[in-house]
Amino acid sequence: MASTMKALVKHARAEGARLEQVPVPSPKAGEVLVKVTATAICGTDIHIYAWNKWAQGRIKPPLVFGHEFCGEVVELGDGVDDIALGTRVSAEGHFVCGKCYFCRTGQAHICQDVEIIGVDTNGCFAEYVRVPRGNLWVLDPEIPTEVAAIHDPFGNAVHTALTDTLVGNTVLITGCGPIGLIAIAIAKKAGASRVFASDLNDYRLDLAQKMGADVVYKVGRDGLVAGVLKETHGLGVDVLLEMAGHPSSINDGLQSLRKGGWAALLGLPNGPVEVDLADQVIFKGIKIYGINGRRMYDTWYMMQALLRGGLDLTPLITHRFKFEEYEQAFNLAISGNSGKIILYP
């Protein structure tokens, strides 16, 4: 193994990134070294690349970013003796303390001392990445490499969509980014009777139909609330999966939700959001779930079961680039005219 590797580095407190040669990390006790086979671009990576307000307050360059990947184990740290070299893996990207109240009560996904790969520690836009052994997820051999590389957002979608009952229910998904698109396929697979989806982007709405949406609405052109109420005979949908985080999306979603329905909110607003709690929440008697990450590791077993049961995520993967083409890849991701974008080392 060489002593250095290619890595995409957030090298300065400014827009962009740089492909550099950096030292290959050595696994510490309890860790493994994974040779990266494929990675994928996430919305968080776009924020880091574009150097938005969130990134400016969180990211400390220089940092190898990226957190969606798959690969194979090539080196074991001290004390790791239960996984073989060459094992094909993905990984949970939230490194938790295991000691806080939340970790000790089965809620490690909201650990108070969490570190996120590619955000707080060096990530996977590299030829090798170092990961705690406990965070590895051993992949079924039949799972395609590119699907294996997007287990992180797949898990976000599973956690959101399967928080409560979907069987026989009508579902509205607001925001057809990659996680929203995956949630469409999950909802159909899990027995939703009809799935509605909304977005601003025509490319994403076309993908939404390919992933199984029964009816799509373009924000600003189609009347979402009126359309949903018409399709549900004035009742509203049973379930809202909110993936956009935009104030109008949240409010339109809640107005489209029937009395006694449930909503799961994953999309992150840029600031406070005004909602009519009396009319849209309290008097309607709805349940609202806030979703953060993936339950560890309940969500991962659900993901495995869905894939074994035939869930097909391949239509979501639309573009592929080499690390050396990262600028083209990120410009495309920022445009929104793509599904998941795979980056190969």
Q: Catalytic residue numbers?
A: 44, 47
Buried b (16+ CB within 10 A) or exposed e, 138-160: ebeeebeebbbbbbbbbbbbbbb
Cβ-in-10-Å burial (0-12, 13-18, 19+) of 331 comes to exposed
Residue 128 amino acid letter = Y
How far out from the chain centre does Cα 83 lie? 26
* Bridge partners of residue 320, in order along the sequence: 342
Residue 231 amino acid letter = E
Q: How many C-beta atoms lie closer than 10 Å to residue 290's C-beta?
A: 10
22: CB partners within 8 A, 6+ apart? 4, 5, 7, 9, 64, 126
Residue 335 amino acid letter = S
DSSP-derived secondary structure for 194-262:
EEEEEES-HHHHHHHHHTT-SEEEETTTS-HHHHHHHHTTTS-EEEEEE-S--HHHHHHHHHHEEEEEE
Cβ-in-10-Å burial (0-12, 13-18, 19+) of 333 comes to buried
DSSP-derived secondary structure for 134-156:
GGEEEPPTTS-HHHHTTHHHHHH
Question: For residue 62, is the peptide bond before it cis, meaning its omega torsion is within 30 degrees of 0?
Answer: yes
DSSP-derived secondary structure for 264-300:
EE----SS-----HIIIIITTT-EEEE--S--TTHHH
Residue 158 amino acid letter = V
